[in-house]
A and B are shown apart, each in its own frame.
Chain A
């Protein structure tokens, strides 16, 4: 396996594995937020903004994997 193939494979593996956890996490975050809105529809505004903060924090992990993938592949 030459270096270029290894880089491409490395990017594919790091992104593929890196998005599993955040995917599950965002699912849980949004699911719980919807549950909360279902229980208390009046508080939906606060819950939605808090949910977006949680989604952003979780999603950052997937983005880290993506950035590391880019660095592996393109530098």
Chain B
């Protein structure tokens, strides 16, 4: 059974000294799609919405209402809406593009082996780690701005409640840092495992088996995008909640 698995994305060349990988090209395609759709939808905003505008307004309203009920205030929800929605749209567009026929099949011959020009964006750990770092810094900086440095810090270095309180604070600190790992590996692992699953299915039963699996992986892709955005929101909520005082 011949299954080609590459954990790291392949280099296509360099651009002004910056290495260009096939997942980077895919990332720019996703950005281009989002910019184009955003430009054409945003240009035609009317008071009486058309079908396309109605569709986007419905989604945005649902998300903003959900954020309001989570964060507890409309102003906060509007403040964080651009970030959460951008994360969701970026990941979901990339994941929906994963199974288009030209991805992974069009490529060049490089030093005797085949290098695909496009690779699903989230099967590159660099992309998911970058997203995780963005989410991480937004969460921590939100906590510091909303609570103040000392009060936010008192969640992690807790000297008032004895040894037990101190240990709980340290655990909280480690848990916060571990979010970087869990955010990035969750998205990367899910999408990458899906790709491998389909590669195995193609090796076993090329005609019929991959189709339901692709359907399932598309669902997983949308789900993971939603979960990335939802978890960012939930962690922002945790970051802005008051530290536990001794009662």
Interface residues of A (CB under 8 A from B): 46, 49, 52-53, 56-57, 59-60, 63-64, 66-67, 70-71, 74-75
* A64 engages B189 (CB within 8 Å): yes
Q: Are A63 and B234 in contact (CB under 8 A)?
A: no
Asked if A53 meets B230 with Cβ closer than 8 Å, knowing A60-B185, A74-B7, A75-B7, the reply is yes
In whole angstroms, how far apart are the Cα atoms of A59 and B182 in the complex? 10
Chain B residues closer than 8 Å to A49, beta-carbon distance: 66, 230
Cβ of B95 to closest chain A Cβ, rounded Å: 15
What does the 1/0 interface line of B1-20 toward A look like (CB < 8 Å)?
A: 00001110000000000000
Contact pattern, B 63-74, Cβ under 8 Å of A = 1, otherwise 0 = 000100100000
Complex: chain A residue closest to B178, CB-CB: A60
Chain A to chain B: the 8 pairs with minimum beta-carbon distance, closest first: A63-B189, A56-B227, A60-B186, A67-B189, A60-B182, A74-B5, A66-B193, A66-B189
| Min C-beta distance of B187 to chain A, whole Å | 9
Chain B interface, DSSP helix/strand/loop, else mixed = helix
Residues in A with CB closer than 8 Å to B192 are 67, 70
Asked whether B159 is an interface residue with its Cβ less than 8 Å from the other chain, the reply is: no
Interface size on B, residues (CB 8 A): 21
Are B7 and A71 in contact (CB-based, < 8 A)? yes
- Complex interface: chain A residues within 8 A of B66 (CB): 49
Are B185 and A67 in contact (CB-based, < 8 A)?
A: yes
Q: In the complex, which residues of chain A have a beta carbon less than 8 angstroms from the beta carbon of B227?
A: 52-53, 56
A70 touches B185 (CB 8 A): no
Contact among A53, A64, A70 with B234 in the assembled complex (CB-CB below 8 Å): A53
* B5 pairs with A70, CB closer than 8 A: yes
